[in-house]
Structure 1
Amino acid sequence: MARYAYQSMNAAGKMVRGSMEAANLPDLELRLKRMELDLIDCKLQGQKAFRQRRGKVSRKDLINFCFYMEQLSGAGVPMLEGLADLRDSMDNPRFRGVVADLIENIEGGAQLSEAMNRHPHIFDKTFTSLVAAGEQSAEITEVFKNLADNLKWQDELASQTRKVLMYPAFVGTIVLGVTIFLMIFLVPQLTGFIKSMGQDLPFHTRALIFVSNVFINYWYAVLATPVLIFIGIKLLLHNSAEARYKAAGYKLRIPLIGPILYKIILARFATFFALLYASGITILDCIRLCEEIVANEVVANGLRRARQAISDGQGVTAAFQSIEIFPPLVIRMLKVGEATGSMDTALRNVSYFYNREIKEMIEKVQSLIEPVMTVILGLILGWIMLSVLGPIYDTISKVKV
């Protein structure tokens, strides 16, 4: 509930000011009418207002929303009553305000999908298109069930992707921290002793001393360089479509990680295409919506070309085969789906296959990361030990007893 500061008028025409908690503006008006007051003006008050403007709607919130709407619509509860119950039971102030706005727009004569279109950052085009298809086909319960299942799948997929990225990032940070410690604190003490021997130093020892001096004298540059590179890349990708396209291609070619990302994109495409097609959306609209879902410029561009080829009269399978992005399995399943009229079933099989492959590949990558990081740390330590102990050993071997 948000707190509103309001100005109202009573039956005698006298101005009445105050503050009151309410779920939204219509709720505030209703509460004031019960007090025989007519609302004139109001504004959100204090921290509650800030939270309502700046809160975040998570995927978990959307899953709960879809599950709740599936249960209520399946039980025959009217849409407005179901949304009102959902609004009153929500903990997230941002989403509670969104649901209140949905109620207000539906009361004004809008369809649920039309009301959702007012909040594109929460309900994307795919979400609202599926709801609109459910409204037209009177299968809104099935649509919300499919949306809930799909959001759960996305949540699991995101969790698996984080497993691939977070572990090497964590271990890499540790390796970097150990390297910085050795270069700034340990190496200078040992190299000071080596220099005092007065002998010619080998190349790898001079390289170690040089790197150590860089860390000591320009530590701020060492720390700032990765940050500046990251910011520069982000700005370049934001301002250049060509750079975004090339970066999307490079992502798919990264050793170990690239094939996993590629299969995640294929699984996402197959899952959403099947879901959209099963809801009665046309193939061209399915492809258009999938262009935004795949989140990769190379694949999205390929889908655009396939959509254009289909618009020009080419078959679905031939159009996808001509763009040379999708592997034979996807093409084969599209061919089967096109021949049998069960495109959604065929693509669900593709999604199932790639989901299984993704899990297996993630497990393999995770099993490889630890030994690779251990080898890298071992090479760094070996270089330091060889550079330090090598000259000491040479000096001792020259001593005549």
Structure 2
Amino acid sequence: MDIKYKAYTQNGEKVDGILETESEKTAYTILEKQKLLPYHLEKIENKTYKFSLNITFKVRTQDLITFTKQLSSLLNAGIPLRKALLIQEEQTKSKKLRKTLSKITNDIENGSSFSAAFSYHKSVFPEFYLRLLKVGEATGNIQSTLNQLSNFLSRKRKTSDKIKQALIYPIFSLSVALFAAFILVTYSLPALQDLLSQFGGTIPITTKILIYSSEILSTYSYVFITIIFILISLFLLSTKVQISKMILDKFLLSIPIVSKIILSSNMFFITNTLSTLIKAGVPVIESMKLAEYVLTNSQIRKWLSLVTQKASQGEKLGDAFKAVKGFPTIISDAISISELKGELTETLDGLSSYYEDLTETSVSNTTELIQPIVILGVASVVGFIAVAVIQGIYSTLGAVN
């Protein structure tokens, strides 16, 4: 919720602003940390209509990458922090990010630290992002930290986009096939049925199958639409409910082709995140906990949580990875060797590059494998309908002759 506040500074000056926080109690705590004495707090109620949907739009990853990269460039150019934030506030295309940056600038002007001002907006900035900012501020390397964050987010987005692109092709192709089938059955078939009923003749088996299928679809169309709607709703629900999501994620890991992409992409997310955080000075155990936030599969997240638990109990990181089934042996072996040599971050960099390339190769190979299957499926559906219609037309012409 948004809370409007009025407070006194240590010099007795009156200041006011808006905080995005969970409760008035939290607002008091935040203001006290900023060395402000609040004397008035007021909840800002969001005006909504009775039947309106309360939808919260997240900041797109690309907007966050652009903001982080440009803020780093502005600070490197010697532009003061407040001015750099104001420039970004004016330039960003995201309304939510613009509103957030306005609040951050206001908090910094009222005495809040750089990382603290960002930490009040966890719905916009990921947990690892906020932790890195805090470390960067403590070590005096804000510009370097922002540069690391932009590189990290860019690589993660690039990998995620490749996986999405691999899924778009078969979905688009099947949609086109279904649309073509719908047009043929809806417009061509009724005309053919009229001809057959007028002139008679022997109806080919393919045409009979098509007519029978069309009649079933027409008669029970509402049933099929309801079933499709229920299946889509159940799938969307399964991605939101924790138990069903874990079942779905576990099932996906059992499918050979899909599991290879999921495993390699999540190994890239783990190694890339750990490398970025540890380089910035975040302790290994805390880096492990933060790495869980970037994973896309709940089952792999559970594995990593077990590794973190073992490592926090004093077990070596390589041995902890080896003890948890599911992680590739190359991870545990490479980390074990790096721990002996004291080259953990270098090894993590190498592993992240390896799994980034492996993910790209897996996605490319899967796309090449799916393409002929999809083409064959589309050709079979459209071809069968076309043959059934053409045979029906020839049968009608034969009856006329």
Structure-2-length-normalised TM-score: 0.75
Q: Offset at 1:296?
A: 1.1
Corresponding residue for 1:34? Answer: none
Corresponding residue for 1:67? Answer: 69
Write the distance in 1 (CA, Å) between the matches of 2:202 and 2:80: 89
**SS of structure 1 residue aligned to 2:296:** coil
Corresponding residue for 2:381? Answer: 380
Alignment-mate amino acid for residue 352 of structure 2 = S
Corresponding residue for 1:182? Answer: 184
- 1:155 matched to 2:157: yes
Aligned in 2, Cα 1:387/1:70: closer, same or farther, shift over 3 Å?
closer
Alignment-mate amino acid for residue 243 of structure 1 = S
Alignment-mate amino acid for residue 313 of structure 1 = G
Aligned in 2, Cα 1:172/1:318: closer, same or farther, shift over 3 Å?
same
**SS of structure 2 residue aligned to 1:238:** coil
**SS of structure 2 residue aligned to 1:120:** coil
Alignment-mate amino acid for residue 289 of structure 2 = R
Corresponding residue for 1:141? Answer: 143
Corresponding residue for 2:173? Answer: 171
Corresponding residue for 1:368? Answer: 369
Corresponding residue for 1:37? Answer: none
Corresponding residue for 2:108? Answer: 106
Write the distance in 1 (CA, Å) between the matches of 2:68 and 2:209: 60
- Contact in 1 for aligned 2:166/2:363 (Cα 8 Å): yes
Corresponding residue for 1:13? Answer: none
- Contact in 2 for aligned 1:184/1:215 (Cα 8 Å): no
Alignment-mate amino acid for residue 63 of structure 1 = I
- Contact in 1 for aligned 2:58/2:123 (Cα 8 Å): no
Write the distance in 2 (CA, Å) between the matches of 1:231 and 1:170: 20
Write the distance in 2 (CA, Å) between the matches of 1:103 and 1:392: 73
Write the distance in 2 (CA, Å) between the matches of 1:308 and 1:91: 41
Q: Provide structure 2 residue ranges, at least 5 long, that are not aligned to the other structure.
A: 1-16, 20-41, 48-54, 396-401
Alignment-mate amino acid for residue 182 of structure 1 = L
- 1:312 matched to 2:309: no
Alignment-mate amino acid for residue 83 of structure 1 = L
1:316-327, aligned counterparts within 5 Å? 316-327=317-328
Higher Rg: 1
**SS of structure 1 residue aligned to 2:337:** helix
Alignment-mate amino acid for residue 166 of structure 2 = V
Structure-1-length-normalised TM-score: 0.75
Alignment-mate amino acid for residue 339 of structure 1 = L
Q: Provide structure 1 residue ranges, at least 5 long, that are not aligned to the other structure.
A: 1-23, 27-40, 47-52, 395-401
- 1:132 matched to 2:127: no
Corresponding residue for 1:219? Answer: 221
Write the distance in 2 (CA, Å) between the matches of 1:244 and 1:92: 30
Write the distance in 2 (CA, Å) between the matches of 1:92 and 1:308: 38
Q: Offset at 1:230?
A: 1.0
Alignment-mate amino acid for residue 377 of structure 2 = I
Alignment-mate amino acid for residue 118 of structure 1 = Y
- Contact in 2 for aligned 1:287/1:307 (Cα 8 Å): yes
Corresponding residue for 1:50? Answer: none
Alignment-mate amino acid for residue 147 of structure 2 = K
Corresponding residue for 2:282? Answer: 281
- Contact in 1 for aligned 2:279/2:345 (Cα 8 Å): yes
Q: Which moved more, 1:299-308 or 1:188-197?
A: 188-197
Corresponding residue for 1:399? Answer: none
**SS of structure 2 residue aligned to 1:110:** coil
Corresponding residue for 1:303? Answer: 304
Aligned in 2, Cα 1:369/1:314: closer, same or farther, shift over 3 Å?
same
Post-superposition Cα deviations, 1:33-73, rounded to whole Å, max 9, x if no partner, equal xxxxxxxx9x99x9xxxxxx977633232223222332343
Q: What's the RMSD between the two structures over aligned residues?
A: 3.5
- Contact in 2 for aligned 1:267/1:354 (Cα 8 Å): yes
- Contact in 2 for aligned 1:191/1:388 (Cα 8 Å): no
Q: Which moved more, 1:374-383 or 1:302-311?
A: 374-383
Q: Offset at 1:298?
A: 0.3
- Contact in 2 for aligned 1:183/1:211 (Cα 8 Å): no
Q: Which moved more, 1:76-85 or 1:310-319?
A: 76-85
Write the distance in 2 (CA, Å) between the matches of 1:95 and 1:348: 31
Write the distance in 2 (CA, Å) between the matches of 1:356 and 1:236: 30
1:230 counterpart (229, 232, 242): 232
Post-superposition Cα deviations, 1:62-117, rounded to whole Å, max 9, x if no partner, equal 22322233234334544334323433444544322211211222233322222112
**SS of structure 2 residue aligned to 1:324:** coil
Alignment-mate amino acid for residue 176 of structure 2 = I
- Contact in 2 for aligned 1:272/1:290 (Cα 8 Å): yes
Write the distance in 2 (CA, Å) between the matches of 1:178 and 1:150: 43
Write the distance in 2 (CA, Å) between the matches of 1:191 and 1:258: 47
Q: Offset at 1:157?
A: 2.0
- Contact in 2 for aligned 1:55/1:92 (Cα 8 Å): no
Post-superposition Cα deviations, 1:153-192, rounded to whole Å, max 9, x if no partner, equal 1232233122111111111101111222334444455567
- Contact in 2 for aligned 1:316/1:334 (Cα 8 Å): yes
Corresponding residue for 2:261? Answer: 260
Alignment-mate amino acid for residue 381 of structure 2 = I
